[in-house]
Amino acid sequence: MTSAPTTLAARTDQALAGLSPGYFALVMGTGIVSIGLHEAGASTVAVIPLVLAAIAFVVLVVLLVARGFRHGDRLRADARNPETAFAFFTVVAGTDVLAVGLHQHGLGTVATGLLATAAAIWLVLGYVLPWQVLMTRDGEPILARTNGTWFIWSVASQSLAVGLSGLHPATPRLADLLGVLTVLSWSVGTILYVGIAVLVILRILHHGITPEQFEPTYWVAMGALAISVVAGASIVDMASVPMVDAARGLIGGTVVVFWCFAAWLVPLLAGAGFWRHRLHRVPLRYSPSQWSMVFPLGMFAVASMRLGRVEHLPMVEAVGVGFLGVALLVWALVGAGLVLTLVRLARGSA
């Protein structure tokens, strides 16, 4: 009678040791679905995924801290591994997305605290993780291990810009500082995207990519562009301060280009998924990386709706509404996969 709990504890600890550093994409995907529903006018329904995102956030924070204490060696190894290190930026992006969702529902104080926390983590990880990856060598070429998770570094920067752009400073001096920080994070995210895209293309040209290696995290290449659209449009709508005024014209001119390229990437990524799962029979089963597909779909929906309204483009707005339905469907399917995985873990069959 006492062996089952011990077995469950052992399985749970084993799962904790192997916890993906990118699991905060669960918060990102669930949070962006809530934000999308709010954008579409379904504010009441949007509360449901927002509450789920908040619960997931708390649980994942506890698990991440527990992993640091119990399996610190595994966590540090992930932080030095080029294939997993940049997935830690989902902590920043997940915190920012949750903050934006809470702000939409009137919880501004909590949202501001989360944004401040995310900014501090972004600043630390932005210097520590690249140093760990580039300066800690294990004998294997880094370029061959570049993958879609690297784009999450750009997403984290843009998510901070989105969150900061929605704040309302109490004094002109704070408004000036906020303008600088918002434009800075958008600019860093944009330049990082370009650099990472070059590295990923070079990896594919020099080393190729197998169907097994083409994981859902490559969808972040599209999601990073979509969140750049949302962040850029939000900056354009900010109150007049020197830094925002200096960048408004440049940023406003890029958002349409970014949206168009993100739209172009969607069929490419969908076709790659068909190539991976249908032609090469890679099993389509639940994995934490699938949350990195939910977020780009939801973010593209939000970017399309917001761009369509700001620039008076009803066709683009309609695309956003349609993609919100797709994002909801994928979110539900991936969520069902997570529930089944947890049930199997509890029963000992996973």
The per-residue DSSP string of 263-329 comes to HHHHHHHHHHHHIIIIIS-------GGGHHHHHHHHHHHHHHHHHHHHTT-HHHHHHHHHHHHHHHH
Note the pLDDT tens digit of each residue in 172-181.
899 999 999 9
- CA gap 114, 35 in Å, rounded: 16
* Within a domain: 125: yes
Note the pLDDT tens digit of each residue in 246-270.
999 899 889 999 999 999 999 999 9
CATH number where 40 lies: 1.50.10.150
Whole-number pLDDT of residue 6: 58
Average pLDDT, the chain: 92
34: nearest Cα among 55, 63, 19? 55
Note the pLDDT tens digit of each residue in 314-326.
999 999 999 999 9
* Within a domain: 1: no
Q: What is the pTM of this model?
A: 0.93
Whole-number pLDDT of residue 140: 74
* Burial class of 7 by CB neighbour count within 10 A (0 to 12, 13 to 18, 19+): exposed
* Domain residue limits at 45: 10-347
Q: Quick check: 284 pLDDT over 90?
A: no
* Within a domain: 191: yes
Q: Quick check: 207 pLDDT over 80?
A: yes
Number of domains in the chain: 1
Whole-number pLDDT of residue 2: 45
**% pLDDT > 90, the chain:** 78
Q: Quick check: 142 pLDDT over 50?
A: yes
* Within a domain: 91: yes
* Within a domain: 106: yes
Q: Quick check: 18 pLDDT over 50?
A: yes
